Chains A and B, each alone.
Chain A
Amino acid sequence: MKMNKKTFPSRLASLGVFGAAALAALTTSAADTVHYKSRVGSKVTITGTSTIHNWTMDSQIIGGSMDVPVGVEFDQTKAALNGATGGKIPMRVEANIPVASLKNGHWEGMDEVMQQAMHAAEHPQIVFRLSEITLKEPHAAGTPFQFDAKGDLVVNGVTNAITMPVSIESVSPVKLKVVGKKPLKMTDFKVQPPVKASVFKAGDDITIDFEWVVGRPAAAK
C-alpha cells in the first residue's frame, strides 16, 4: 500500500484522528523508501541432473521490485552499511521469473516438458516474497554486502518458506545487483521430475542461481 506525497494532505483531511497514527506509520514507511524496479541485465540458471546428462535452464528475465529504506546505501567500498539497525533491513522485495522464459537450449522439447511439469499455464511465474533480510557482519570493504534472506518461494502454485544467502552491491549510482543461490527439490513444490521410461529420468535436486539487477529513477533521492 503506497501513497505518494502528493495525496497526503487530501488523505489526512479525509481520515479521522483515529486513523492518523496508523496513517503516520504507513506514510513513514512509504515516503521513506526508494523504489527499485527490475532492469535488463538479470539472469537466472536452474541446474539439474538426470540419468543421461546434467542440464540447465536459463532465463534473462527476473521481474519485480524492491523498496529500500531511505538512508540505506549499498556502498560496498565502505565497511559499514548505513541504515541497517541491528543487522535487519526493513526492505520489501517481490521478484518473479516467468516460467516460459526458462530455456534449455540443447534438447528440443525440454522447454515444453518443463513448462508442463511446472503447470505454467496455471502458474506462469516463479515468485519470491521477502519476509526478512539480515546483514552478515563483519563486512569486508570492497566486497558485496552479504545477507541471510528469508521469504516465501512459490513454484507450481506451491509456497515454501526458504532461507538463502544473498549478496547486494551497487553496480552503478542507480542500480543494485542481488546475487543468490539456493538448492531445492522439485517435489517440494509438487513438480514431478520428467521421466521417459527406460531412457531418461530427471533428478529431484536442482539449484537456482540468480543475478537480479534493479534500478531506481536517476532523480530519486
Chain B
Amino acid sequence: MQEQENNSSPTGFNRRDFISNAASFSALMALMGGVPLHAEVATNAPAGAPSTGYSTVSAPLNFGVIGCGPWGREVLQTLALLPNAPVVAVCDSYEPMLRRATAAAPKAQSFTDYRQLLASKDVQGVVVATPTHLHREIVEAALAAGKHVYCEAPLANTAEDARAIARAAKAAVKVNFQAGLQMRSDPQRHFLLPFIRSGAAGTNVMARSQWHKKESWRRPASNPERELAVNWRLNSATSLGLIGENVIHQLDMIRWLANTKPVAVSGWGSILGWKDGRDVADTIQAVFEFPDGFNYSADASLANSFDSSYEILYGTFSAVMMRVTVEDGSKAWLFKEVDSPLLGWEVYARKEQFYKETGIALIANASKLPPAPKPGEPRPPQPTPLQHSLANFISNSGIVGKGIEDFIANYGADDLDGMREYITGPTITSSRRSAAGWQEGLEATLAVIQANDAIRKGHGHRVVFEKGSLEL
C-alpha cells in the first residue's frame, strides 16, 4: 500500500524554471576551494579560440517516481526541467493523485502498484517519495529489482527500518543509492565547506537554525481511511514531525560543515497553533550537544512564519548564515567580528544588510553572476537544491551502472568482492558528484529519531547518543 504525500522540503519552495547553467571552470575551481571570489582565473588560453562545445551533462536516466503527493509532484516538475531525466513511470495507490502526476509526466506509464513499476525494464532509477513509514518496503524491493534508488529523507521513522534500508543499500553494490539530503548536492554549500573547515570562521562557538512556516500540514480527507493515509504526518505512529521531516536537513548541514557528530540531544515540543486532534508537536525546540561544548539549537514551528528558515554557524572570527529562498536559491553570508583577520577578498564582495548587521555574500561562481535586476524586473529563478540533488543522482547512477557493466564485461560477474572494491574504490568515488549516500542518510535519520524521542517526552528531556546509535 503506497501513499502519495511526503513533504520534506526545508523551505516548502515551489517549482522554479531552470536556467541552463553548465558548470564553468571558475565554479569548478571554486569548488576546489582555490579561487578568489572577485576575479576570473587568469589563463593563457588563446583569446577567440572557438569552444569545442562539449557538454558536461551526463547520459540520461529513465525515472520511475513512486509516491505522487505534493512532494512527489515537486520531484516530477523538477525532473521535467532537467535535460537528461525522462520520467517513464509514475506510481501512486490513490488514482486522483496518479492522474495529477501524469499531468506533470504525460509520457509516463502509470501504476497503482509499485511492484509493477519495478518490474518495468524501462525504469532505471526510482525516486521513493511516499510517506516516510512506507519507504522501507519499497526501497528494499527497488534495490532487489536492480534499480538505482533515490530515497527521500528521513529514510524511515524507526531505527530498525532505517538500518534495514542502509543495509540493503550497502549490499546493493551494482546500483546507486542516494538519500534525499539534497543540500549535500548544493554547489553553494560545497563552496562553504573548505572555507569553514579551514578555520576561516574561527573555532566553532555554536550553531542555530530555525524552520518557520505557518501552515497546518493537515490535508483534506474524504473518509477515515484516507485520513490515516493523507495525514500521516500528524500521527506520532507514522511521523517524526518537524525534526524528522524538516530540521533533518539543517542538522545534517551543521554536522557536515563542522565535521562533528552529536553526543546528546534535549527536546521540547508543544501543540500551540493547530489543536485539531493531532498528537505531533507543531512547535519544537531541540538542542544538540556536540563534543567540546559546541551546541546547536534548532527550533521549528508550523504556527509562525517570521524570518522563514536558515542555519547559522557561529565562530570566533565570524558567523556564517545560510538560506535557501525561492527568489535567490541557495545563499550564504559572512558576518565578521571586529577583531577577525583580514581575508582580503571581502572588500570586493557584495554586501547585504540584515537587521543591523552587514553580511558579506559568500557566493560560488561570483564573477559569473548576472547583474542585479532593475527595479520592477523579475529576478531570474535559480536552480533549487532538489534540482542539483536529482542531477547528481543521474550522474552517479550512470557512473555506477556503466562501471558495473564495464567490470562484468572485462572481469566477469563472479568476482563480487572485486566488483565492490572497484565501485567503492578511489577512482570511481572521486568521479561521483556530491550527494548523500546511505551512510549520511542513516546518521541523520537515526539522530532525528532520537531527537524526536526527546521532543515527545519534552521539558528538555535529554537523550544521550549511545555508542553505535548513529551507525549501522
A107 and B431 in contact, given A195-B52, A198-B47 (Cβ under 8 angstroms): no
- Is A39 interfacial (CB-CB < 8 Å)? yes
Within 372-417 of B, Cβ neighbours of A (below 8 Å) are at: 402-403, 406-407, 409-411, 415
A195 and B50 in contact, given A40-B411, A106-B32, A112-B58 (Cβ under 8 angstroms): yes
- Is A157 interfacial (CB-CB < 8 Å)? no
Number of A-B contacts (CB under 8 A): 114
B54 and A194 within 8 A (CB): yes
Q: How many whole Å from A219's CB to the nearest CB in chain B?
A: 17
- Name the one of A103, A104, A117, A197 contacting B50, with C-beta atoms under 8 angstroms: A197
A61 and B51 within 8 A (CB): no
- Is B371 interfacial (CB-CB < 8 Å)? no
- Is A173 interfacial (CB-CB < 8 Å)? no
- Is A8 interfacial (CB-CB < 8 Å)? no
Q: How many whole Å from B84's CB to the nearest CB in chain A?
A: 10
A108 and B410 within 8 A (CB): no
Which of B17-25, B227-235, B299-307 lies at the binding interface?
B17-25
The complex places the Cα of A96 from the Cα of B411 at a distance, in Å, of 12
- In the complex, how many residues of chain B place their beta carbon closer than 8 angstroms to a beta carbon of chain A? 44
A111 and B431 within 8 A (CB): yes
The complex places the Cα of A107 from the Cα of B34 at a distance, in Å, of 13
- Is B48 interfacial (CB-CB < 8 Å)? yes
Within 90-146 of B, Cβ neighbours of A (below 8 Å) are at: none
The complex places the Cα of A51 from the Cα of B42 at a distance, in Å, of 10
The complex places the Cα of A100 from the Cα of B407 at a distance, in Å, of 11
- Is A58 interfacial (CB-CB < 8 Å)? yes
A112 and B56 within 8 A (CB): yes
- Name the one of B49, B422, B433 contacting A198, with C-beta atoms under 8 angstroms: B49
- In the complex, how many residues of chain A place their beta carbon closer than 8 angstroms to a beta carbon of chain B? 39
Q: Which residues of B contact A61 (CB under 8 A)?
A: 406-407, 410-411, 422
A117 and B427 within 8 A (CB): no
Q: Which residues of B contact A60 (CB under 8 A)?
A: 422, 425, 427
- Name the one of B46, B54, B402 contacting A201, with C-beta atoms under 8 angstroms: B46
A200 and B45 within 8 A (CB): yes
A105 and B430 within 8 A (CB): yes
- Is A52 interfacial (CB-CB < 8 Å)? yes
- Is A5 interfacial (CB-CB < 8 Å)? no
A51 and B45 within 8 A (CB): yes
A116 and B25 within 8 A (CB): no
The complex places the Cα of A77 from the Cα of B433 at a distance, in Å, of 46
Which residue of chain B has the shortest Cβ distance to A201 in the bound complex? B45
Q: How many whole Å from B428's CB to the nearest CB in chain A?
A: 7
- Per-residue interface assignment for chain B, residues 426 to 448, with 1 indicating a CB less than 8 Å from any chain A CB and 0 otherwise: 11101101000000000000000
Q: How many whole Å from A124's CB to the nearest CB in chain B?
A: 9
The complex places the Cα of A64 from the Cα of B49 at a distance, in Å, of 39
The complex places the Cα of A104 from the Cα of B431 at a distance, in Å, of 6
Q: How many whole Å from A36's CB to the nearest CB in chain B?
A: 13
- Is B41 interfacial (CB-CB < 8 Å)? yes
Q: Which 4 A-B pairs have the closest CB atoms?
A: A109-B56, A63-B410, A105-B430, A103-B431
- 26 A-B residue pairs with Cβ-Cβ distance under 8 Å, sorted by A, are A38-B410, A40-B411, A60-B422, A61-B422, A62-B410, A64-B410, A100-B402, A101-B406, A103-B427, A103-B430, A106-B32, A108-B31, A108-B56, A108-B433, A112-B55, A113-B55, A117-B52, A193-B52, A194-B52, A196-B52, A197-B50, A198-B43, A199-B26, A199-B43, A199-B45, A200-B43
Which A residues fall within an 8 A CB radius of B?
38-40, 51-52, 58-64, 96, 98, 100-101, 103-113, 116-117, 192-201
Which B residues fall within an 8 A CB radius of A?
22-26, 28-29, 31-32, 40-41, 43-52, 54-58, 402-403, 406-407, 409-411, 415, 418, 421-422, 425-428, 430-431, 433
Given known contacts A112-B56, A197-B49, what 14 new A-B pairs fall within 8 Å (CB)?
A52-B25, A60-B427, A61-B411, A64-B410, A100-B403, A101-B402, A109-B56, A111-B431, A112-B57, A112-B58, A199-B26, A199-B45, A201-B45, A201-B46
